[in-house]
Amino acid sequence: MPELCVGTRRWAVPTGSNLLDALNEAGFGVPYSCRAGSCHACLVQCLDGQPVDALPEALALDTHAQGWRLACQCRVVEDLSLTVFDPKRDGVPAQVCAVDWFADVLRLRVKPDRAVRYQAGQHVVLWLGGVARPYSLASLPGEEAYLEFHIDCQRPGAFCDLARGLRVGESMGLGEVRGGALHYDPEWQDRPLWLLAAGTGLAPLWGIVREALLQGHRGDMRVLHVAHEPAGHYLAEPLRALPGVTVELVLTEQLDEALAALRPSSRQTVALLCGGARSVETFARRLFIVGVPRGQVFADVFVEHV
């Protein structure tokens, strides 16, 4: 049987064992959120030996070349020497600089100890008390000295339970910055831009719509935000203050009617969608019906945490 070596620990595991399970069964407490290669909480670095990696494309080429792997996607087939991601050593320390509540949504702002390069629409793994979860960036790169995240704490969860107790001045860790499908392309400047969000799916779109304005977007811009109750429209006033942006605040029971009224003014319309799987699917289906080409629809689906 192959052996795993982490620091001074060495033990044998059955061939083909899932690496995440093998590490956690040995007591290492490697965090994970999705087991699907999306959250990137279970990063480990292989120092010697290689596992069978089912999803190598999930990591950036340079990160993969440095030996980093997603433990949930790896099987052990030979001896491995590795180290588990440590946010203090391998990440970026950060300090909480603002904690604001809008009903059950926490607007968290943190100042990293060193500059973090990112683009509007990307997300970061946040580390707090040994728990790691990915969250979209809502801040505007190059314009704000902090990183902003919108965290839905309506339901209990390992990270949310800890986040509820956060205070200004406390420390936390930042993992890698990753990009999804959401972004702003300067070539879209003259095209209609629709941004459709459900719940805290508004977070990355809040950064992107301001990036578009900063880039001098000239086409029509429309933001549609869906929430279960009026208090869920947590950025209502800041959204309405955006120059030249049409804002629709829709309650869940009004969504079908609001979507039925959507009529693109041009086949050149670009649409950015974010939220839970059901909401994004509903958005995408309506856009297909009204003739927005699939290649002009970009979506980021929030993965359910486990």
Q: Give start-end residues of each CATH 2.40.30.10 domain in the chain.
A: 88-178
Contact 6, 28 (CB under 8 A): yes
Q: Residue holding tokens 């200004």?
A: 168
Q: Is the confidence at residue 215, as pLDDT, over 60?
A: yes
Q: Is 143 exposed, middle or buried (0-12, 13-18, 19+ CB in 10 A)?
A: exposed
pLDDT per residue as tens digits for the range 108-165 = 999 999 999 999 999 999 999 889 999 999 999 988 999 999 999 998 888 999 999 9
* Dihedral sign for Cα atoms in the order 303, 153, 134, 162: negative
The CATH H-level (homologous superfamily) assignment of domain 88-178 is Translation factors (2.40.30.10)
Q: Give start-end residues of each CATH 3.10.20.30 domain in the chain.
A: 3-85
Tokens of 211: 């990036």
Cα–Cα dist 2/11, whole Å: 8
DSSP string, 197-219: EEGGGHHHHHHHHHHHHHTT--S
CATH code at 186-301: 3.40.50.80
Q: Is the confidence at residue 306, as pLDDT, over 60?
A: no
Give me the pLDDT at residue 304, please.
64
Q: Give start-end residues of each CATH 3.40.50.80 domain in the chain.
A: 186-301
Q: Is the confidence at residue 256, as pLDDT, over 60?
A: yes
pLDDT per residue as tens digits for the range 82-123 = 999 998 899 999 999 999 999 999 999 999 999 999 999 999
Contact 33, 305 (CB under 8 A): yes
Place 37 in a pLDDT band, splitting at 50, 70 and 90: confident
Q: Is the confidence at residue 182, as pLDDT, over 80?
A: yes
CB neighbours of residue 8 within 10 Å: 5
Contact 71, 23 (CB under 8 A): yes
Average model confidence (pLDDT) across the chain: 94
* Dihedral sign for Cα atoms in the order 169, 118, 70, 51: negative
